[in-house]
Amino acid sequence: ALVDIIPPTTRHNIASKASKTASVVKKTGKVIGNVVWIVTTSALLVGLPLALSLEDEAKIVAQEKELMAQQQGAQHMMAGSSYPPGSNQQPAQKAVVPPGF
């Protein structure tokens, strides 16, 4: 049997090294798991509200730009009139003619 081939001291050394290796792997895994937990939790507690506030700020800036564009368009339409101020003359509107007439 294998027990008879490998001396007891060698078997004990192999078993103790395997036990120590398993212990180190277990402790390292636990530490890495804790670090990943801390990083993930911190990212959620800090990063998520930050991302949401940046998104809200971007929406507000876009709305302000849209409002400014609307105001400039309205001012451009008011200032772009081809008739002099005070003149109430409007161009004669043509009647709508359907096609074929």
Q: What is the pLDDT of residues 11-47, one digit of tens each?
A: 999 999 999 999 999 999 999 999 999 999 999 999 9
Asked whether residue 17 is domain-assigned, the answer is yes
Asked whether residue 76 is domain-assigned, the answer is no
Asked whether residue 60 is domain-assigned, the answer is yes
Asked whether residue 96 is domain-assigned, the answer is no
Specify whether the CB–CB gap between 83 and 89 falls below 8 A: yes
Q: What is the pLDDT of residue 86?
A: 56
Give the number of other CB atoms < 10 A from CB of residue 19: 10
When pLDDT is averaged across residues 52-68 and rounded to a whole number, the result is 95
Asked whether residue 101 is domain-assigned, the answer is no
Which range of residues forms the domain containing residue 14? 2-70
Q: What is the pLDDT of residue 83?
A: 52
Token pair 């103790």 is at which residue? 16
Nearest C-alpha neighbor of 91 from the set 80, 82, 78, 79: 82
**3 state DSSP class of 27:** helix
Say whether pLDDT at 7 is over 70.
yes
**3 state DSSP class of 79:** helix
Task: Say how many domains are in the chain.
Answer: 1
Q: What is the pLDDT of residues 67-96, one digit of tens each?
A: 999 999 888 888 765 555 555 555 566 777
Q: What is the pLDDT of residue 91?
A: 57
Asked whether residue 83 is domain-assigned, the answer is no
